[in-house]
Structure 1
Amino acid sequence: MGRIGEKLDIDFVVSTGDNIYDDGLKNVTDPAFVQSFTDIYTAKSLQKSWYSVLGNHDYRGDALAQLSPLLRKIDRRWICLRSFILQAGIADMFFIDTTPFVESYFTETDHSYDWRGVSPRQAYVSTLLKELEEALRSSNATWKFVVGHHAIRSVGHHGDTLELVKYLDPLLKAYGVDMYMNGHDHCLEHISSADSAIEYLTSGAGSKAWRGDVKESSDQDIVRFVYDGQGFMSAQVNPTHAHLVFYDVSANILHQWTMLKPQHSAI
């Protein structure tokens, strides 16, 4: 990852959640932050801002600790918020807190979750969707990317997140979002929408992988690529096209494609 970051001269890094595995942080002084982040991503090319969302495993610990600005005093790269917008020139990136969408997390007994700042769930999710819709409506960016932890479309172990299919996906299609990027499933995936220009990209292969669990597509969406192993992705964007690449853990190219603007089919 460091070698690719240097080759591409990257501007920033995006983390799609489950930042501190397996159960988040215990508090803002938990050494797991340094052990899982600072001590891992040491390459010179990765000393850029890291924009992160929370995953379900992060919510199993002290979620507020990961959101705390105190962590930036430990590592200045760390930028983690529940939901926010990154205006990156020609692209607007909308980071969405997807864990509270999943109803089962609020009833399961195997794990406990830190819902401070989230409960009541229905009000939180409703407000998030309204704010996202307004932000998408007012965006004049050439490219619109949405980033969340859970997949909308996936043929990996967890599969589609039904709550996102019902509530989030229609907004993305209505407001011309180009890509939805997520983690959660520990693999790399590229799925094209059957009824819109959205590309669904899973990049959740930074740690636990090789599950050997790939499902059939649940509808007519086109599964262009699946890799059930460790890896990461890069995106290079300009006013006319976006070039995206999936790599394995050794930085070998596994899959790449180009999206064109104005709307054309991917090549």
Structure 2
Amino acid sequence: MKNWLSGLLAAVLAVGLTGSIMAQAPLVEDLGYKGGNIKGIKKLDKALHFLVIGDWGRNGENYQKEVAAGMGKAAHDLDADFVIATGDNFYPYGVASTRDYHWISSFESIYRAQSLHVRWYPVLGNHDYISNPDAQVEYSQISSRWSMPSRYYSKKFREADTANSVLILFLDTDPIEKEMRGHAYDSIKYRKGYVQQQKEWIIRELSQSKAKWKIVVGHHPLYTGGWRKDSKDVANMKAFLEPLFHQYKVDLYIAGHEHHLEHVKPAGPTHHIISGAGSEARPVQLHPNGGKFVAATQGFATFSVTNKEILVQFIDYKDQIIHTVSLPK
């Protein structure tokens, strides 16, 4: 009797353990770790490494999960320092509060890889403004990785204010675009004087910085071969920001808004990168004014910054490196 009970107990435990192991297997597959990292990815020595994704929060749909899995691999390969999100973080209406379920369904449960549990530095997009843009700022008080101290802000990396440092400005471009299109002011979202205040801050940050690299991040692009290539908002943003970029020698402007991957180098000091294909992808053409690369596919970009160059690698949702470019200093 005793032997029979012991055997039964052993069988139950074996089934329980097997069930536990089998239940965990899909979790590993969901993260994309099925036999390797990003084939051919290049990691520069002594570099500041970060990933950029834009226009992504769709409850895991439209290849968002696949892009997230690839990001986890790339972040692991590069030992990424942080992630930048270029806006339209939650579709279609942003988030209503810090308790909005979108935080779970589109962020926490999607970007689960340990390598992505680093600081995320987001900017707001036009869709984020539909509900409560300040909820994304407030979420910084709850999350250990979501780091958005205000609607626009700056970060310095490496040795601050030296020839080895990297300055990144994170802009709030939707109010700029709205004001330039003549939208009525809003006491909360588009209050009068806010755009001028931000412009003065941009000038102050760029003019006073001694950083070797000056990088600016915003939601709205200045150059695009996508849907909005002839739109008023692109023309307005170019008129507002490009003179500042030229005057203060901004090296790189990173945007989203357009749902593709793109690199444009027009006349002047600034390279323009679009990484807005975190879930949906749209048709696009090579830009006639300095277009270097474009892809109508879901994916993201990695950046590796050294004293001599910024290496940009574009990676699609199939974990393929589809374009690499070195931006020399």
Task: Work out whether the TM-score is over 0.5.
Answer: yes
* One-letter identity of the residue aligned with 2:312: L
Across the aligned residues of Structure 1 and Structure 2, the Cα RMSD in angstroms comes to: 1.8
Once the two structures are superposed, residues 14-34 of structure 1 have per-residue CA deviations (whole angstroms, 9 ceiling, x without a partner) of 000011111101222111112
* One-letter identity of the residue aligned with 1:249: Y
Determine the structure 2 residue equivalent to 1:264. Answer: none
1:168 aligns with 2:241: yes
Note the C-alpha offset of 1:250: 2.1
Higher relative contact order structure (alpha carbons within 8 Å, sequence separation ≥ 6): 2
Q: Percent identity?
A: 35
Alignment of 1:1-267 (within 5 A): 1-68=71-138, 71-72=139-140, 74-80=142-148, 81-89=150-158, 90-103=165-178, 104=181, 106=183, 116=188, 118-120=190-192, 123-159=193-229, 161-193=234-266, 195-209=267-281, 211-212=282-283, 214-215=284-285, 217=287, 221-261=289-329
Q: Distance in 2 between matches of 1:226 and 1:88?
A: 29
Note the C-alpha offset of 1:74: 4.1
Q: Distance in 2 between matches of 1:57 and 1:40?
A: 19
* Bigger Cα Rg: 2
Q: Distance in 2 between matches of 1:188 and 1:168?
A: 21
- Change beyond 3 A, Cα 1:254–1:152: same
Determine helix, strand or coil for the equivalent of 1:140.
coil
Once the two structures are superposed, residues 182-219 of structure 1 have per-residue CA deviations (whole angstroms, 9 ceiling, x without a partner) of 000000000001x212110000000111x22x2564xx
Once the two structures are superposed, residues 73-132 of structure 1 have per-residue CA deviations (whole angstroms, 9 ceiling, x without a partner) of 54311112311111012210011100011134836xxxxx98615312xx2111111110
More deviation in 32-41 or 182-191?
Answer: 32-41
Q: Distance in 1 between matches of 2:286 and 2:264?
A: 12
* One-letter identity of the residue aligned with 1:185: E
Gaps of 5+ in 2: 1-70, 159-164
* One-letter identity of the residue aligned with 1:242: I
- The count of aligned residue pairs is 247
Greater fraction of residues in helix:
2
Once the two structures are superposed, residues 26-50 of structure 1 have per-residue CA deviations (whole angstroms, 9 ceiling, x without a partner) of 2221111121111110011100000
* One-letter identity of the residue aligned with 1:92: L
Q: Distance in 2 between matches of 1:105 and 1:60?
A: 17
Q: Distance in 2 between matches of 1:136 and 1:223?
A: 26
* One-letter identity of the residue aligned with 1:162: A
